[in-house]
Structure 1
């Protein structure tokens, strides 16, 4: 699970569409409930006109909702500051007045109640609707503001989580890059020492061959610098480039045996996983024996974990405070694995009998 920065944002419907759908649903429910209730009670009205009047009566609140939400963001309600309530009281009164005027106009226009006498003057009807429903206006306005606060809080939390995840990914990538840069100079330092040793031994042809192999190896590093995970087959091929360098120095003293089933070659592993382990095996195992030695690499899968074992038949590890003493490459590798997989990995080093050391790495199995 290499770090990935940037995710395609989910396509969200426009806010006005949600507002329209919500108020349309409220209007449909209110109109349907009122019409069916009055018909069940035996009233006689112009039902279609009444339904349309009740449905359209919510239009002022629907149009005012975005304005109310923006006002709530600009002037948050605070119990300690009564003056913060003044813009909201004015907005509630203005919306309620618009609602009263609109519904009074609808009733004057459609006359849904089938009144035989004059329905009344517009202004008295407007004032009656405004003052009779003033408490309802306050409750409705407060509900819109409260819902807006909840939605804004969820939006801010989601943005904070997204930003936190983005920063964590950036930090993880930076940590991995730093650790990788530590591994590469460490390897380069050891290889240059090997070239210097060949020159001192006057094995100039071998030194030139080792420099050419080093050039090819470094080119592969640069080409794959942005990859934190690669297929196991690619990692093995990369390791072979490294061993080509070492074989210039050790010739027949370095033997390699690889036992990896074909079905595991596509598994994802951290890049530069095997190289520091094999380098550690050569430094602490092969070079300690006059006739060299053998390195064996094996891969197995158990459930959801991929395990890679690297064994060398050199001398046992020295122990420090009850544990095996490890080099810089292995220490950095452990840090990289921790950054990539958290606690879902295992890295162990253990002695095998009177001679030999095995390094075992287990990571979550994922196919490339």
Structure 2
């Protein structure tokens, strides 16, 4: 019993709009005829003209417009192929057009017809009266139907794009969380290694100091884990603390030169825990691979609308072309790409040094 309700309201709306439209057209047509009669000096009565126009012209075209609109709405397959459109038009010509002519002839008193000649004259009169209005109505209904179909496809496409964008954003957020979950244990593992080395050496005082520094580092890491971005200045402060912890392990061998520090670093946004994996990578491929003091260089330089960050360390003769393809650098590269399409990380040998270069857009931090 409730099934016809969803289709009843659109049908009523279609019929109501059709009646209103043709009533308005009838009012304008009757007004034009009334004006022409007055200019020609003929007696004229506008209400009578309106009723005549409505009964003779509007009623058939209301039936055609509403019936065709409802049929196309219910059976859109009627217009799926050009031959269907042609067939529908010829059906209109063969069925509706004669019915309209007979209706108008009945209203005008042309019936009954007593000869073939009278029938021919009637057809000629009705041809000029109804052909163009009927054909024009058919064309207008088809145009409106095609427009509605195109609009529906466009809205469906927009909804699909919105859904895809939402799904992609959700996937990117989950991926970012996964990258963070990988990075933080990785950092913790390496920091604990530094402290465990002090314990093995029997230096409890330095080990306790290292644990204190580690707690400060973990406090920053936990805070950073709930933020998408940090400032480069904050990350530099975290790296300095991290180097102080590593200095307990490496002693005077750990030498890091930092250049280009300015107020600009307070304004540039970057992924949290950005610099630490780069410095850790440099330590692993510098101090852990050779004897003697290290030579790690961290430099900041503005290049147009980009902040360039370079971390460089010496590369021995047997160093592979891409020694920095581990978890830390891989995660850093992915997190940069998720933060901004123009952010990037390039790493590789440049002469006798391995260089990791980060490029960040000069976007204000949150």
- TM-score above 0.5: yes
The residue that corresponds to 2:282 in the other structure is 281
Q: Which residue pairs with 1:293 in the alignment?
A: 294
- Structure 1 unaligned spans of 5+: 1-19, 101-118, 122-127
User: What TM-score do the two structures reach when normalised by structure 2?
Assistant: 0.63
1:347 equivalent in alignment to 2:337: no
Cα distance in 2 for residues equivalent to 1:306 and 1:234: 15
State yes or no: 1:224 paired with 2:221.
Answer: no
SS in 2 for 1:308: strand
Give 1:144's aligned residue. Answer: 144
Q: Contact (CA 8 Å) 1:286, 1:292: kept in 2 or not?
A: yes
Question: What is the alpha-carbon distance in structure 2 between the residues aligned to residue 281 and residue 212 of structure 1?
Answer: 24
1:361 is the counterpart of 2:362: no
Q: RCO greater where, 1 or 2, for CA within 8 Å and sep 6 or more?
A: 1
C-alpha deviation, 1:308, in angstroms? 0.5
* Bigger-Rg structure (1/2): 2
Q: Deviations over 1:216-237 (max 9, x none)?
A: 2223222222433322122222
How far is the alpha carbon of 1:258 from its aligned partner? 4.1
Equivalent pairs counted in the alignment come to: 302
Verify the 8 A CA contact 1:273 1:333 in the aligned structure 2.
yes
1:192 aligns with 2:192: yes
- Report the equivalent of 1:332: 331
Q: Is the 1:220–1:238 contact (alpha carbons within 8 Å) kept by the matching residues of 2?
A: yes
Q: Which residue of 2 aligns with 1:267?
A: 268
The structure where helix makes up a greater share of residues is 2
Any conservation in 2 of the 1:255–1:295 contact (CA below 8 Å)?
yes
> In 2, Cα distance between the equivalents of 1:347 and 1:261?
23
Q: How does 1:4-83 map to 2 (within 5 A)?
A: 42=39, 76-78=76-78
Task: Determine the C-alpha separation between the residues in 1 that align with 2:230 and 2:46.
Answer: 71
User: 1:254 Cα deviation (Å)?
Assistant: 2.6
- Contact preservation (8 Å) 1:231, 1:269: yes
CA apart distance, 1:38: 8.1
Is the alpha carbon distance of 1:43 and 1:259 closer, same or farther for their aligned partners in structure 2, counting shifts above 3 Å? farther
Q: Is the 2:198–2:248 contact (alpha carbons within 8 Å) kept by the matching residues of 1?
A: no
Contact kept, 8 Å, 2:278 with 2:356, in 1: the verdict is: yes
TM-score by length of 1: 0.63
